Amino acid sequence: MTRSLPPAIVPCAMTVHAPGATAHARTLDIAEETPVTLSFNGMAHGVMMATPLDLHDFATGFALTEGIIPDLAALKDVAVRAEADHARVDMRIDGPSFHRLLARGRRAMAGRTSCGVCGTDARDVLDRPRRHVPDAPPDLAAVGRALAALAGRQVLNARARMLHAAAWCAPDGTIMQVREDVGRHNALDKLVGAGLRDGLDFGRGFCVITSRCSYEMAHKAIMAGMPGLVAVSAPTARALRVAGQAGLYLVAPARTTSVMVPDLVVGK
């Protein structure tokens, strides 16, 4: 029997209680959260909790932003399948990439939706590959246009009101691609994977995320070669340092009414 992945959004029966009012029934759309097993050349790499949608994009983006593959050409095949109680994505990568992965050691990664570095140690974080991104700061007027348009492109969040989004925008602020997930890292990985598969030029434009700008989000944007990252919440200090070292232009926090551009802090 061929299994199907669960739907990304499911209805849930609720009872609404409010002071001075009679309790009443309501159906609320909520987001699904599914364990996703990721493997490379038959070797289990880890399990991430994710919205069961766009998993091919997710795996592709994860492989690139985690430094497992250097580019899309190194990813030879991706197979997504539904198991009894989880999803599985088996990836086949080229020999050099697999040898580098083996040299890093087996990574027993049990990731939460909110966590992008679970299963690592401090050295894994501090010794991650460092790249320089193109020097192409986003136009702030274009950032405003993208922020104003993003809510209308968040199809899943319009129903569930609980999902993060990551959007790739052209230099003029036109939104080219959007991906959503219960996990902010997952949403960005899905966007990167979708962009790689669609041939988007990540060197021209900027990314908008509907979450805080943590170190991990800055690192993933850098690994994808994005010159600019716009976040609705403030950056962490480490995110500022990582961005400064790579030349990533941060706009955070950003709202439709105003944006802030932090002075990038370079160094330890």
Catalogue the active-site residues: 115
Three-state secondary-structure class, residue 229: strand
Q: Determine how β-strand 24-31 pairs with β-strand 9-16.
A: antiparallel
Closest alpha carbon to 231 in 167, 160, 186, 179: 167
Partners of 111 in beta bridges: 48
What is the longest distance spanned by two Cα atoms in the chain? 67
Q: Determine how β-strand 164-169 pairs with β-strand 206-209.
A: antiparallel
Closest alpha carbon to 189 in 89, 264, 121, 259: 89
Q: Which residue has the tokens 């990252």?
A: 229
